[in-house]
Structure 1
Amino acid sequence: MSAPTAVQVRTAAVVGTGVIGAAWVAGFLASGLDVVATDPAEGAEARLRSYLESSWDVVSELTGSAEADRGELRFVASAGEAARAADFVQENGPERLEAKRALLAEIDAAARPGVIIASSTSGIEPSALQAACAVDPGRVLVGHPFNPAHIIPLVEVVPGAATSPETAQVALAFYRRVGKKPILVRSEIPGHVTNRLQAALWREAYSLVDRGVVSVADIDTAISHGPGLRWAIVGPLTAQHLSGGAGGLRHLLEHLGPPTQKWMDDLGAPQLTHELADKLVAGMDEQLAGVDQAGLAADRDRLLVDIMRLKHTSRNLP
């Protein structure tokens, strides 16, 4: 049986309501969906409801939802019970392959025919998850959000070997419907796409700190007060294109391509040893000494909301 279309989804199941799962619940409710949630941890329901109350102002501002538009939340005892009631399932279990396989097998056995099962895994390849699902492995795919997931719109949709193109397209349409900005990852690779892009930057940042070229604080300044400002508006490749002036990306690559190749060839390849980890943590502790870190996170979230609101007013951004 084919999957429900995106507009036919009325109830979403959220399996696992930790940091990522709770954000999915908030976003789904703000989009008017009913949510059936489950998490085996003691006190999980109370923590989820507290999170929803504290985050509702931010989520509703981003979605334009009033309290009256909010879907209904029901908390149930098991993943199977949640899956049976749902038109779409978002799994957020521990980031361990065997744990996810066991959870997804339970969900797959209980979900109605055609219901898509999306995993929030940050790096496990979907075919490895599909292998645990005996009923309909093709409906299992990756739907990976980006933290803080109640604000950041990115979702990576990664089909597995058994996933049909039609199922992937329904998942993309569903995430667009709930206000996300999904991308289709066309090949399975560890870490998907965004985490690999981050890892490329982290690798050189770690190398520069390890070699004593720059401090942890200076790395953060270099990005947050430099290219990070541009990247919040357009992606790194479009930023390059705009830097090329009238000639665009082709002119920039012709002009800066040779030195860029030399820089790429000279990038470090650090090993994340205990000694390097200690150096990075010490640098972070020094940078944030005396800083209210809860306030820092709140400021980050407030500014992210402001950026997203302004981006929504743009006519030309891709």
Structure 2
Amino acid sequence: MPHPATPTPAIRRIAIVGAGTIGASWAALFLAHGLTVVVSDPAADAEAQTRARVQAAWPVLKELGRVVEGASPDALLFEPDLATALVDVDFVQENAPEREDFKIELFARMDALLPPRVIVASSSSGLIMSRLQSRCQHPERFVIGHPFNPPHLIPLVEVVGGDKTSVEVIEQSIAFYRAMGKYPIRLNKEVPGHIANRLQAAVWREAIHLAAENVASVADIDAAVSQGPGLRWALFGPHMTFNLGGGAGGLAHFMDHLLGPVQTWWDDLGTPEVTPELQCKLIEGVNAEAGRRSIADMVQTRDAQLTALIKVLHR
């Protein structure tokens, strides 16, 4: 893998507002690139949890070649007081609870504390920035920078501005994330859930429908993705996958010959009602699929396999 790109000179000190799994993962990535990182979260155990998660992410970051010379997980700064944490920062990555009312109030508070030049990016997985920035005096510097979990491993960042976000802020955010080794994509318009979560939700809805209809077990439905199209999706998205499926004629040939059958599948897709009984069925199904493996064990396995896959893809 190539050496990590040099970050934008204007961004050297980052505030992570809201720790948790996502915030700690962002912190690890930014620290690995030699940036000064201060994490702010009022929870009593937030500092200990954040430091533990950053330490756990560090070996993987080193294995992937993303740790610049002199970088250390011990350089992380923690400040529970938001106003103090935001002093002299160049960029804010916000990871607060996914509640619109909470974020609107938080954004207005940060807006009052920060100089106008500082970009504030939200990790929100589906909220609309136009509403989140509605009470800010400088809404032009607020942008969505939605990562995929865990951010220190998964390259994708979805970048989209609100009605009042400046084009320059969107472009600067994309350049910054790219310098961090991420793969930023730009949304041309706001939609709830952005892109990737909507695609995930669409697949999961049909997976739930298939389970509800007893077409197969939860484990086999999962395997139908992980042992089939999921492997191809690690290389190409759905459009390019079907373009290759068309052979020499590409997508045009595929659509000419198979669009009819695909349309019948679309027409038959389900819209399940996730009742308490169906919830129990799904939970029992994933527990049976997991067997004796704990969540921690599976996360460790996932991250190890993701690391190996990323190394192969970036050869």
What TM-score, normalized to structure 1?
Answer: 0.93
Larger displacement relative to structure 2 (64-73 or 248-257):
64-73
CA distance in 1, matches of 2:96, 2:309: 30
CA contact (8 A) 2:39 2:77 kept: yes
State which of 161, 171, 176 in structure 2 corresponds to 1:169: 171
In the alignment, which residue of structure 2 is the partner of 1:181? Answer: 183
Unaligned runs of 5+ in 1: 314-318
Match of 1:82 in 2: 85
Query: Match of 1:124?
Result: 127
Contact 1:104 1:129 in 2 (8 A): yes
Residue number in structure 2 paired with 1:195 = 197
Of 93, 96, 106, the match for 1:93: 96
Separation in structure 2 between the aligned mates of residue 275 and residue 292 of structure 1, nearest angstrom: 24
Residue 227 of structure 1 corresponds to which residue in structure 2? Answer: 229
Cα contact 2:13–2:89 (8 A) shared by 1: yes
Q: Give the aligned residue type for 1:73.
A: L
2:116 and 2:141 in contact (8 A); partners too: no
Which residue in 2 is equivalent to 1:270? 272
What is the identity, as a one-letter code, of the residue corresponding to 1:217? Answer: A
Q: In the alignment, is the contact (CA less than 8 A) between 1:7 and 1:174 conserved in 2? A: no
The correspondence for 1:21, drawn from 20, 23, 46, is: 23
Letter of the 2:80 counterpart: A
The CA deviation at 1:303 is 0.8
Identity %: 48
Q: Number of aligned pairs? A: 308
The corresponding residue for 2:146 is 144
Q: Deviations over 1:51-106 (max 9, x none)?
A: 21121011222243156234832211322222232101001111111111222112
Q: Which residue of 2 aligns with 1:316?
A: none
Structure 2 residues without counterparts, runs of 5 or longer: 1-6
> What's the CA shift for 1:292?
3.7
TM-score, reference length from structure 2: 0.94
**Contact 1:33/1:70 (8 A) holds in 2:** no
Q: In 2, are the aligned partners of 1:144 and 1:156 still within 8 Å (CA)?
A: yes
2:34–2:68 CA contact under 8 A, matched in 1: no
Q: Residue 261 of structure 2 corresponds to which residue in structure 1? A: 259
Q: Which amino acid aligns with 1:168?
A: I
RMSD over aligned CA atoms reads 1.5
Please say if 1:312 is aligned against 2:314.
Answer: yes
For 1:208, which of 207, 210, 214 is the aligned residue? 210
Alpha-carbon distance in structure 1 between the residues aligned to 2:290 and 2:25: 26
The one-letter amino acid paired with 2:130 is: S
Q: CA deviation at 1:7?
A: 3.3
Partner of 2:4: none
SS of structure 1 residue aligned to 2:293: coil
